[in-house]
Amino acid sequence: MTKVTLTVNGKTVSKSVEGRTLLSNLLRDDLHLTGTHVGCDTSQCGACVVHVNGEAVKSCTMFAAEADGAEVKTIEGMANADGSLSTIQAAFQEHHGLQCGFCTPGMVMSAAALLKDNPKPSEAEIREYLEGNLCRCTGYHNIVKSIMAASGQSVPAVAAE
């Protein structure tokens, strides 16, 4: 067993974990932060994206021991201090950027990382950035609209059919 100490959503926690424990398992099973979803266990879907030291990371690809000493932010830490939805979360709600909600935590965390690095991304840049996140419900249009809205840009119209 290895003792890991990390700051998760602003709170310092210490846990003893096996060397093979993934960060996603530590968050979900030991810390009960079940907003971080595990959809594939192969780094394909992006449902498990969290921020580690400010960078978006697929938590199913990182050992918990690698996060020792790190600052980790999960979807549970995205809300404003008063508990209200963050700008990104509110945009996803307002622009219907979710359906079943399974991919939503990873999409929101990825969107936050994108907007940190590129505050006004184009539609094409958003779509390219989200290539590592899979959604089986929305067709991505409303997710892109949500991220555009969160960035303060006008929301693209629905494509003509």
CA 85 centroid distance within chain: 14
Question: What are the tens digits of pLDDT across the range 31-59?
Answer: 999 999 998 878 899 999 999 999 999 99
CA 17 centroid distance within chain: 23
CA angle, residues 43, 49, 51, in degrees to nearest 5: 130
Backbone angles phi, psi at 149, to 5 degrees: -65, -45
Among the listed residues 79, 74, 77, 35, the one whose alpha carbon sits nearest the alpha carbon of residue 56: 74
**Distance in angstroms (rounded) separating the CA atoms of residues 105 and 28:** 13
Whole-model pTM: value is 0.92
Q: In what order do the strands lie in the sheet with 2-8?
A: 11-17, 2-8, 71-73, 49-52, 55-58
- Domains in the chain (CATH in brackets) are 2-77 (3.10.20.30), 87-150 (1.10.150.120)
Strand partners, 142: none
Question: What are the tens digits of pLDDT across the range 75-127?
Answer: 999 999 999 999 999 999 999 998 899 999 999 999 999 999 999 999 999 99
Please report the pLDDT score of residue 138 as a whole number: 77
Residue 10 has pLDDT above 90, yes or no: yes
Please report the pLDDT score of residue 151 as a whole number: 97
Residue 161 has pLDDT above 70, yes or no: no
Work out the number of other CB atoms within 10 angstroms of the CB of residue 115.
19
Q: At 72, is the pLDDT very low, low, confident or very high (cuts 50, 70, 90)?
A: very high
Work out the number of other CB atoms within 10 angstroms of the CB of residue 111.
29
Question: What mean pLDDT is predicted for residues 3-31?
Answer: 97
